[in-house]
């Protein structure tokens, strides 16, 4: 009934969350009307009516909550009459997501890039395998070295050993430019291409791994440890919080922004032009504005994604780790986007 009076459920959901914070702060007298159950479950019923419908017995306590919250807010306003109301703008509008965004990924971090404000987090400090998200640092180290990107590199047996991307088939003796290897490692996430980049680095693979670790230290990523260029190693680990900062820093590389937001590309194999596509299907969706993206997968890491997207008019960084499958990962991204848009539309 309360949601019907307001015309939409989101303002009431935010009011419930604000009331919960007042209770935590010790304003228990104001919250005496909240005696009808757990506030989080009420918020879920508001934003997910298909899961559990409202019943008339819930209406009275919820209306009491709204009335109590209104009185508290009114008192605060009256206590500071000289304070001007904040300007209503997208960049300043508060976003409160953590109480009612459904995510199934094990580790989540959503951050407003401009302010650095964490909008949503879940197990964000756990250090876990990150699979091919490692290739963002591989690309940064490669670009930092200012190597000849047109130099042709012949793949050897070690480059193509192990698991390879099914859509990009590289083989021993094949020659590709360093630029093409960089593109193949980022867009279709070729492990062979990333390994060739590491091997052809000045000083070889050992020097490249050393450069990876120095880069991590210079970026201040204390929860991150990388032992190879691809992410095949389960010892390539990080936290969702560290990765959010990594994406922000990676976005300062124009070439990384350009390459990782491409939907696909081409390379030559046996004299023929072969097409490939990005591992992130959202890039081809015109409803998304992605300026940096990298996916990852391994048995240990699950389905992962790191991305920088413009949502509700602002650059947002989204990190999801260890989703059970691609559909779960996509659902999480969509739920986060919907919540951000709804939270800023008011």
Average pLDDT score, the chain: 82
Query: What span, in angstroms and rounded, lies between the C-alpha atoms of 258 and 256?
Result: 5
Residue with tokens 């780790």: 321
Active site residue 132: yes
Domain definitions of the chain by residue range: 2-79, 107-345
- What does the alpha-carbon distance between residue 185 and residue 242 come to, in Å, rounded to a whole number? 21
Question: Can you tell me the distance from the alpha carbon of 340 to that of 320, in angstroms, rounded to the nearest whole number?
Answer: 16
State the average pLDDT over residues 261-287.
Answer: 94
Among the listed residues 105, 122, 134, 135, the single catalytic one is 135
Res. 113: pLDDT tops 70: yes
* 293 CA to centre of own chain: 9
Tell me if the domain spanning 107-345 has CATH number 3.40.710.10: yes
Band the pLDDT of 95: cuts 50, 70, 90.
low
Given pLDDT bands bounded at 50, 70 and 90, which one contains residue 9? low
Q: Where is pLDDT greater, at 342 or 346?
A: 342
- Cα R_g (the chain), whole angstroms: 24
Q: Assign residue 167 a region (left: φ > 0; alpha: ψ between -120 and 50; beta: otherwise).
A: alpha
Cα distance between residue 80 and residue 325, in whole Å: 51
pLDDT at res. 162: 77
Cβ(168)–Cβ(183) below 8 Å: no
**pLDDT > 90: percent of the chain:** 66
Is 189 one of the catalytic residues? yes
| pLDDT score at 64 | 55
Tokens of 257: 């922004």
Phi and psi, residue 210, nearest 5°: -60, -40
Choose the catalytic residue: 105, 132, 238, 261.
Answer: 132
Q: Which residues pair with 153 in a beta bridge?
A: 176
Which single residue is written with the structure tokens 């990388």?
226
Buried b (16+ CB within 10 A) or exposed e, 17-50: bbbbebeeeeeeebbebbebeebeebbbbbbeee
* Dist CA 86 CA 92 (whole Å): 8
Q: Facing residues of 317 across strands? A: 111, 308
Q: For 293-334, what is each residue's pLDDT tens digit?
A: 999 999 999 999 999 999 999 999 999 999 999 999 999 999
Residue 135 is a catalytic residue: yes
Owner of token pair 């391994």: 298
- pLDDT tens-digit readout, 225-266: 999 999 999 999 999 999 999 999 999 999 999 999 999 999
| Structure confidence at residue 53 as a pLDDT band (50, 70, 90) | very low
In angstroms, the CA 14 to CA 39 distance is 11
Residue 306 has what pLDDT?
98
Residue of 105, 134, 185, 189 marked active site: 189
Q: How far apart are CA 140 and CA 222, in angstroms?
A: 17
Name every residue whose Cβ is closer than 8 Å to that of residue 252 and which is 6 or more positions away in sequence: none
pLDDT category of residue 102 using cuts at 50, 70 and 90:
confident
């Amino acid at each position: 009934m309360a949601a019907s009076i307001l015309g939409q459920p989101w303002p009431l959901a935010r009011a419930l969350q604000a009331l919960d914070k007042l209770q935590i702060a010790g304003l228990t007298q104001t919250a005496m009307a909240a005696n009808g159950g757990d506030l989080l479950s009420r918020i879920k019923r508001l934003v997910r009516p298909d899961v559990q419908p409202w019943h008339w017995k819930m209406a009275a306590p919820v209306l009491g909550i709204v009335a109590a919250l209104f009185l508290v807010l009114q008192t605060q306003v009256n206590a500071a009459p000289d304070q001007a109301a904040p300007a209503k703008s997208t960049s300043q509008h508060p976003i409160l997501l953590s109480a009612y965004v459904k995510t199934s990924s094990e580790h989540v971090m959503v951050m407003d890039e401009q302010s650095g404000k964490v909008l949503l987090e879940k197990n964000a400090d756990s250090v876990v395998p990150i699979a091919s998200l490692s290739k963002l640092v591989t690309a940064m180290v490669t670009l930092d070295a200012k190597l000849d990107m047109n130099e042709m590199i012949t793949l050897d047996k070690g480059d193509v050993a192990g698991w390879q991307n099914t859509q990009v088939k590289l083989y021993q003796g094949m020659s590709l430019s360093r630029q093409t290897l960089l593109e193949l490692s980022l867009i279709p996430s070729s492990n062979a291409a990333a390994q060739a980049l590491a091997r052809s680095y000045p000083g070889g693979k050992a020097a490249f791994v050393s450069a990876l670790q120095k880069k991590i230290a210079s970026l201040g990523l204390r929860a991150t440890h990388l032992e190879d260029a691809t992410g095949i190693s389960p010892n390539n680990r990080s936290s969702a919080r560290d990765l959010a900062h990594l994406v922000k820093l990676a976005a300062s590389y124009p070439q990384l922004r350009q390459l990782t937001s491409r939907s696909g590309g081409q390379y030559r194999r046996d004299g023929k032009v072969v097409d490939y596509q990005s591992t992130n299907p959202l890039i081809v969706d015109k409803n998304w504005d992605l300026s940096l993206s990298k996916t990852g997968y391994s048995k240990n890491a699950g389905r992962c994604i790191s991305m920088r997207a413009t949502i509700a008019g602002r650059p947002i960084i989204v990190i999801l780790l260890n989703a059970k499958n691609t559909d779960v990962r996509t659902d999480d991204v969509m739920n986060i986007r919907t919540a951000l848009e709804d939270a800023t539309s008011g």
